[in-house]
Structures are given as structure tokens and as C-alpha cells.
Amino acid sequence: MIWMWEARAAVGRLDELCAWAVEALAGREGEVYLSRQPDADLVVVVLRLPDAAPPTGYAAPADGPPRAPLPAPPAGLVAGSAHEWPFQQVHPAR
């Protein structure tokens, strides 16, 4: 399973949100990407998890869609809400 997590950084907080994202991976396989835009700086996390082994302590919320197994960013780092989606890699086969 591959998770994509994306959030718009609060004004002036892109570097802090990026540092939080790197730390949030906690040694798991994944990447962090930045997009510097005139109207909205973005941080994207791609988190790769083995299909057969959900992360320890992860449970999908009962009241909504599944969420990426990342902690919530500290207050004030994100403008609006983060968005997250699960993906399944089909090519190249892993």
C-alpha cells in the first residue's frame, strides 16, 4: 500500500512543515516533496507500506475514509486540512 499525504503549509511555515514530515516518516520507507507556489506552498509525503503489514497501532477511523498512518502535524503548520489517499502500485510490480 502506498499513501499520499498532502498539505498546504501555513504562511512562512514551509520549512517547519517539511521538517515535521521527514520526522513523521519515523524511519519508514517514503519520500517528502515540496512545491513552492506563489499562492500556496505544499508538502507531499509518499509513504510505502507492505501490503501484508499495516503499521503498528493503525486503525481506520469508524466515521470516515481510511487515513494515512501519520501523526497530525502540530497546530499552526498547516493551512486548512491535509488530504490523504491510499494507492496500490501496479507497475512496476513490487
Whole-angstrom distance, CA of residue 38 vs CA of residue 81: 19
Q: Are 69 and 2 in contact (CB under 8 A)?
A: no
Helix, strand, coil shares, percent, the chain, to 5: 10, 30, 60
- The residue behind cell 499525504 is 5
pLDDT in tens, 55-75: 444 455 566 666 778 999 999
Instruction: Give this prediction's pTM.
Output: 0.80
CATH topology assigned to domain 1-52+75-94: Alpha-Beta Plaits (3.30.70)
| Regions of the chain where pLDDT drops below 70 | 51-66, 94
